[in-house]
Amino acid sequence: MKLDIRGDGRHGWSGHGDYELGIDSALKDCPFCGEAPKNVSNTHTPSYSVECGCSAEIHGQVGDWDNLKSKEGAIEEHKKAFQSAIDAWNRRA
């Protein structure tokens, strides 16, 4: 995962994480279409989802907003939220 963490005077630190193909070879194929998921994404918040080209999607747990007041805390919350989305995708029925 590549993280881009930026400071924001009003809200603390914000970030965006990008999924790199092959980063987690344990990410299972889609249960609906059988293809590899196309994306693990977020929108500058510590909340990530795994998405497939067939529109299947699952969200992970949201990070702790109080921990976004420092850059280090923001990085930690984004990493935990990112892994949570991957874990949720792999646990699905």
Domain boundaries, the chain: 2-7+15-20+34-91
3-state secondary structure of 70: coil
Tell me what pLDDT residue 55 has: 92
Tell me what pLDDT residue 89 has: 92
Tell me what pLDDT residue 25 has: 55
Lookup result for tokens 């699905």: 92
**Distance (Å, whole) CA 26 – CA 34:** 14
Amino acid at 60: G
Rounded to two decimals, the pTM is 0.78
Q: Which residues of the chain fall below pLDDT 50?
A: none
